Amino acid sequence: MLREGPQPPKPQEFADSASQTDGYELAAAQTALTQSRNRQVREFAQRMTTEHEDMSRTLGDAAKSAGLEAPSPHVGGDQSRFLSSLQSLRGDAFDREYARQQMLVHASAAATLRSYAERGSDENLRRWAAGAVPVVKRHLQSARQLMQSLGGN
């Protein structure tokens, strides 16, 4: 039987990748809470902190239910470079870059979660991914609105 598209990641790889995204979200939000003076950016960052802490906790629960090691949120790969570039900015440039990165990261996360929810090999993680998709889509929509309010496209 032929399968379309690339194979979904193995369960531990998926859990680690999702945890890495949560790690970036938490670190970027903390940076925004420290560096931004814009009320909308700070409110968005606080929401990201609260909701990604919850997502990270429930991901750990799903991983344990799948018999896997519960991953810890961490920043790595491209997201490390994103975070470094963000931390070097100040003022309006920081706010716009934070919103831009949030749009990119949430769009990528939504696609990854949707794919795993549909084709992943572990039922516990598929359920978690399916539940996370609408949350991440709301975050993406909020990031787009934030970007528009800051004068971006």
pLDDT at residue 2, rounded to an integer: 47
* Angle, CA 19 vertex, CA 150 and CA 136 arms, to 5°: 40
**How far does CA 6 lie from the centroid of its chain?**
21
pLDDT at residue 1, rounded to an integer: 43
Q: What are phi and psi of 126, to 5 degrees?
A: -65, -45
**Nearest alpha-carbon partner for 44 in 103, 118, 86:** 103
Q: How far apart are CA 62 and CA 68, in angstroms?
A: 9
- Domains observed in the chain: 11-64+81-149 (1.20.1260.10)
Q: How far apart are CA 9 and CA 3, in angstroms?
A: 14
pLDDT at residue 84, rounded to an integer: 95
pTM over 0.85: yes
Question: Residue 23: left (phi > 0), alpha (psi -120 to 50), or beta?
Answer: alpha
pLDDT at residue 7, rounded to an integer: 78
CA distances from 104 to 12, 72, 77, 137 (A): 24, 22, 15, 12
Could you write out the DSSP letters of every residue in 49-70? HHHHHHHHHHHHHHHHHTTSPP
Q: How far apart are CA 86 and CA 129, in angstroms?
A: 27
**Structure-token pair, residue 121:** 């090999």
| One pLDDT digit (tens) per residue for the chain, 153 residues | 445 556 789 999 999 999 999 999 999 999 999 999 999 999 999 999 999 999 999 999 999 999 999 999 999 888 899 999 999 999 999 999 999 999 999 999 999 999 999 999 999 999 999 999 999 999 999 999 999 999 876
Q: How far apart are CA 33 and CA 36, in angstroms?
A: 6
